[in-house]
Structure formats: structure tokens, C-alpha cells
Amino acid sequence: MMVFMNTSTFEEFQISHRRADDDPVEDEHGWDTYLNNGPIERHFPVEFATGVVVDRPVLRCALCNGVLHDIKGRVRKTAAAAVIEAAALCPDCNDVTGCDVRVSSNGELESLHGLGLRTYAASLGVPAIVRDPVTGSPVMLHPYLDSRQ
């Protein structure tokens, strides 16, 4: 159970974390992502010089599978990869669903926390050929398949 304080009235209130069996869920990282970041859509699409594109994700509640609309988070991107941290509060379940992933410039997708693979697999656009951004020569012919080996 987390306790927060309303700074205008100095009144403490609790936010309950529930799951199907009503036991507490301790997803501190998900709550931290949700409470300390702005709307995530301002970071999308994430584009790499190789042609790999990550569109804004469709995040679903881990408990009821409902579509979540108020997604907050951040994106840290380099030329080689992007780390995407996202979380949203389900108004029906009163719980936060988090999903963090690392996406490489060749389209490889790695889940870091929560429902990352399920969330981002449909949001990832990978070209048939990944080319070196400087020389233009092919680096990978089947980037998504090659990254699984």
C-alpha cells in the first residue's frame, strides 16, 4: 500500500494496488514511471536511421485487458537503441500496468519490465533490409528474424 499526501490540505490518502485475488501488488517501478513522467505520446514515433520505427503503443491493463488511455513515461534514445518506459493507471482495476522495452536500431525487441513484448510487438515497424546509415550498404537482410538468433 502506498501513501500519498495532498500538499494543499496536508491530508494523507492511500492508493491501493489490487489484483484479481485482492492481494497487494508492489510494482513500485510502474507507479514511479506513472507518477513522475508526462504523457508518452510526445516521444513518438521513435525513428532510427536504419528505418526502424516504433509507433505509440496500445497499452492494456494487466488485470482486465482493457485499453488504457492515460499512458505516461519517457524514452531514452541513442543511435543504437531506445529504452521506452511506460505505465498507465486502469480506472476500473485501480492498478498500474507498466511496460518497459529496449528496441535496437535493427528492430530487436527486449522486454525489461511488465508487458513489454506484448505491448510493443505490434507497434514496431522493421524494414525488410537494414542499411548502414553512413554507407547505405545492407547490414541485415531480415532484421527481426536475424536478431532472434
Q: How many domains does the chain have?
A: 1
At 21 the three-state DSSP class reads: coil
Under 8 Å between Cβ of 86 and 71: yes
Q: What is the tens place of the pLDDT at every residue in 12-40?
A: 444 444 444 444 445 788 888 999 999 99
Residue matched to cell numbers 528492430: 107
Is the pLDDT at 43 greater than 90? The verdict is yes
Q: Report the distance separating Cα 102 and Cα 117, nearest Å.
A: 10
pLDDT band at residue 148, thresholds of 50, 70 and 90? very low
Which of 3, 10, 73, 9 has its CA nearest to residue 36? 73
Q: Are 40 and 56 in contact (CB under 8 A)?
A: yes
Backbone φ and ψ of 55, nearest 5°: -90, 165
Q: Are 12 and 3 in contact (CB under 8 A)?
A: yes
Contact between 27 and 96 under an 8 Å Cβ cutoff? The reply is: yes
Sheet containing strand 81-90, edge to edge, reads 71-77, 81-90, 95-104, 109-114
Domain of residue 8 covers 2-146
80-134 confidence digits (pLDDT tens):
899 999 999 998 988 898 889 999 888 888 888 877 777 777 777 777 676 777 7
pTM of the model: 0.68
Closest CA to 83 of 51, 62, 109: 109
- Structure-block grid coordinates of residue 55: 509507433
